[in-house]
Amino acid sequence: MNLKKTWLIVGLGNPGSKYSGTRHNIGASAVASIANALSEKSSKHKRVLADVCETRIAEHRVVLAVPHSYMNESGGAVAALLNYYNLSLETLIVLHDELDIPALSLRVKFGGGDNGHNGLKSIRSSINSGDFYRVRMGIGRPQANQDPADYVLQNFSSVEKVELSKTFNRAHQLIESLIVNGLAQTQNEFHRGED
């Protein structure tokens, strides 16, 4: 079967076990979960500092990647992956944490600014554009007296952890819809009832 298009799906986070269960790493955790659901094993890419696995969604080739770099240096790995696979920006989907969305809710959009997110800022700087898809994964806002920088580096609550697998499954479905059905139909389906 001839595959229609290659998509690059990148989950943002910080490397190492210290950060693995934190809110800031929800994008990286989601991509790892999707690879697991597709029964694909990730491996360290020899030329790009990232864990990568190649798979298929419908008639499309999909490269799932989690950079080894810290969040604020993610752009180098993303630019290298785009270059290695010779991909255009309209096939790039980045999953990242989002303070301005209720915890464990999902939003998808194309383009826009970085809204103070260091991972997005690094990607925009490295590829000289903000024109790519973003799957914004809600982590909610901290209490009024808590520093957001501390909040994002905390683990999810025990109640949230129970729901995380459902959120990762929903992110998988959202990405599949985005690739197969496009942005408008995906937003219509997945944004409904999320507020």
Give the number of residues written for the chain.
195
At residue 90, what is the residue type?
A: E
CA distance 82 to 78: 6
Q: Which two tokens stand for residue 98?
A: 């989002």
Which contiguous run of DSSP H or E holds residue 93? strand 92-98
The reply to whether 24 belongs to the active site is yes
CA distance 70 to 57: 28
Q: Which two tokens stand for residue 119?
A: 């991972």
- The residues annotated with a catalytic role in the active site are 24
